[in-house]
């Protein structure tokens, strides 16, 4: 069963129960009120009869019945009874208002004192039980009982009966037909049924309209959920509102969807990083293999020449040994760079000492000017700047950047090195006015074994690891390095270094004592 159907059934049941309770309460109240009126009328009618009977007057019966007028005192009742018509005259009880009887305690009518009530030309008497019970004490010490009784004749009315004890022990019975009361209650019942049925129909129609409006946010949530299930994780449930339950549910679902989207985004990003890392690893292995294969092949070729008799000629032997030493040095530099990158990738803590960055950069510029006098250098620094770090590694950063200028720009290219203080560290800038590079290359220039276009090709046998080492050392110090350049304008490298590098995270490998290094 759908939620809409359950709500409509609940509305219908509640409406029926509430209206039924109201109908029952109204019916019982009106019935009590009408019966109370009938009892009051019987109380008014019996007073004169009871007074007359207690004064020794008998109530006529049969054809001598009289109209039961309300006797207010015994003298009036006595006068009325003494002036009753003689036998043989038609009965004077033409109004049919009351039925009156006087009964002995055993149940028999006393001396025929019984007058029937007339309705539609017929006379009816109440079917009073032989023994009347349920008396209660009334004012004046009289015992009184009220009850309903059917007519002795078939098709007769229902009577409201008042029975009271007389002074001599007899029982005076005064009964009034309840035609008006029964008719009123019957009409009330029909009206209540009609009103209840109409009210239930209106409640169901109104409830259907309200349920549709109330469930509209849920239908919107359903459509949003279908869209999300189709893969649109950016979809959000509408109708957030802190004042309603559905609105709070929408807010909670949106929070959950945001977290799910973030989790999926993080997962996709992680997968992309893993794929990129795998691709870089494969390219790194291929490039490292290529870089190592060249000197190994050269040494193998020199060894083969040596075996063919080149060692017998002094000039050939010197040339062979010089080639072997050159290729061996090249492999040594490559292996050293790879080992340094591996150590940096492991996150091993670097030496933390106060470093005069201006002095360090000035020495690097002086050394670069000596090594490459054909590349003019200028140095700018306005004040001493000290940071915490590894002086040797930071010197290698500056040396590699200046070496990159010599390796990828023609002779005569001017370069500028500047050191500036920042609020939380220092800024090193190395800029040249060489041939520059394409903007797209800046995103890959710090990758290992990366080769740029021919305008910045390797001229001195570099393996393409210099800038990778720069990036790794700067990252180990908690800084960043970036490159900007345009073709024909030059290239600028910017290094941001914090005053104090972040504390390295402890790992199980770092907690163990370092193993002996083969190169130490």
Supply 5's token pair. 């159907």
**pLDDT tens-digit profile of 200-226?**
999 889 888 888 887 777 778 878 888
Dist CA 405 CA 378 (whole Å): 13
Dist CA 350 CA 397 (whole Å): 14
Predicted pLDDT of residue 290: 62
Confidence of residue 193 (pLDDT cuts 50, 70, 90): very high
Dist CA 220 CA 223 (whole Å): 5
Has residue 520 got a pLDDT over 60?
no
Burial class, 448, CB count within 10 angstroms (exposed 0-12 / middle 13-18 / buried 19+): buried
Dist CA 164 CA 171 (whole Å): 6
Has residue 40 got a pLDDT over 70?
yes
pTM for the full model?
A: 0.46
Average pLDDT over residues 441-455: 64
Dist CA 377 CA 415 (whole Å): 5
Predicted pLDDT of residue 254: 84
Average pLDDT over residues 38-62: 79
Predicted pLDDT of residue 312: 64
Which residue is listed with tokens 């008042």?
Answer: 162
Has residue 313 got a pLDDT over 90?
no
Has residue 190 got a pLDDT over 90?
yes
Mean pLDDT (the chain, rounded) = 78
348-511: CATH topology is Heat Shock Protein 90 (3.30.565)
Closest to 317 measured CA to CA, from 300, 296, 303: 303
Has residue 133 got a pLDDT over 50?
yes
Q: Which of 211-215, 258-262, 302-306, 429-433 has the highest mean pLDDT?
A: 429-433
**pLDDT tens-digit profile of 479-514?**
999 888 777 788 899 999 998 876 655 444 444 444
DSSP string, 383-430: S--EEEE-HHHHHHHHHHHHHHHHHHS-TT--EEEEEEEETTEEEEEE
Contacts of 148 (CB under 8 A, 6+ apart): 158, 159, 160, 161, 178
Average pLDDT over residues 415-438: 89
Dist CA 144 CA 178 (whole Å): 19
Predicted pLDDT of residue 496: 93
| Architecture of domain 233-345 in this structure | Orthogonal Bundle (1.10)
Predicted pLDDT of residue 430: 93
Fold agreement (233-345, 348-511): no
Has residue 299 got a pLDDT over 90?
no
Which residue is listed with tokens 């679902």?
Answer: 253
Domain borders along the chain are: 3-185, 233-345, 348-511
Dist CA 446 CA 31 (whole Å): 100
């Amino acid at each position: 069963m759908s939620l809409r159907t359950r709500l409509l059934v609940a509305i219908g049941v509640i409406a029926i129960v509430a209206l039924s309770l109201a109908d029952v309460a109204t019916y019982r109240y009106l019935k009590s009120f009408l019966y109370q009126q009938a009892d009051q009328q019987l109380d008014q009618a019996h007073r004169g009869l009871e007074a007359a009977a207690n004064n020794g007057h008998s109530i006529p019966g049969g054809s001598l019945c009289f109209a039961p007028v309300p006797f207010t005192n015994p003298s009036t009742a006595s006068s009325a009874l003494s002036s009753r018509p003689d036998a043989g005259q038609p009965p004077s009880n033409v109004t049919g208002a009351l039925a009156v009887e006087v009964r002995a305690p055993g149940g028999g009518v006393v001396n025929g004192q019984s007058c029937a009530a007339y309705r539609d030309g017929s006379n009816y008497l109440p079917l009073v039980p032989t023994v009347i019970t349920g008396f209660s004490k009334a004012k004046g010490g009289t015992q009184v009982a009220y009850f309903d009784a059917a007519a002795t004749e078939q098709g007769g009315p229902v009577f409201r009966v008042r029975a009271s004890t007389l002074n001599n022990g007899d029982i005076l019975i005064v009964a009034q037909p309840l035609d008006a009361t029964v008719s009123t209650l019957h009409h009330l019942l029909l009206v209540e049924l009609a009103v209840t049925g109409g009210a239930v129909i209106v409640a169901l129609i109104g409830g259907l309209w309200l349920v549709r409006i109330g469930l509209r946010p849920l239908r919107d949530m359903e459509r949003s959920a279908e869209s999300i299930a189709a893969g649109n994780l950016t979809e959000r449930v509408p109708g957030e509102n802190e004042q309603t339950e559905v609105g709070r549910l929408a807010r909670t679902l949106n929070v959950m969807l945001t977290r799910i989207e973030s989790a999926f985004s993080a997962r996709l990003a992680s997968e992309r990083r893993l794929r990129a890392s795998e691709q870089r690893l494969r390219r790194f292995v291929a490039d490292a293999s290529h870089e190592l294969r060249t000197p190994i092949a050269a040494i193998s070729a020199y060894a083969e020449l040596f075996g063919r008799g080149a060692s017998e000629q002094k000039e050939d032997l010197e040339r062979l040994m010089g080639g072997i030493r050159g290729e061996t040095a090249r492999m040594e530099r490559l292996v050293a760079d790879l080992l340094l990158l591996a150590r940096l990738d492991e996150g091993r803590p670097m030496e933390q000492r106060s470093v005069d960055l201006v002095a360090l950069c000035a020495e690097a510029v002086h050394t670069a000017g000596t090594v490459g006098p054909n590349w003019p250098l200028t140095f700018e620094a306005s004040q001493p700047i000290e940071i915490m770090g590894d002086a040797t590694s930071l010197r290698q950063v500056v040396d590699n950047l200046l070496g990159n200028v010599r390796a990828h720009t023609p002779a005569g290219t001017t370069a500028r090195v500047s050191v500036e203080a920042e609020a939380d560290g220092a800024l090193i800038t190395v800029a040249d006015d060489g041939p520059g590079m394409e903007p797209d290359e800046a995103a890959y220039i710090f990758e290992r074994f990366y080769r740029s276009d021919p305008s910045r090709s390797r001229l001195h046998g570099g393996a393409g690891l210099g800038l990778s080492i720069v990036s790794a050392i700067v990252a180990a110090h908690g800084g960043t390095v970036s490159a900007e350049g345009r073709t024909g304008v030059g290239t600028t490298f910017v290094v941001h270094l914090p005053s104090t590098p972040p504390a390295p995270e402890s790992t199980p490998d770092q907690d163990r004592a370092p193993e002996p290094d083969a190169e130490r």
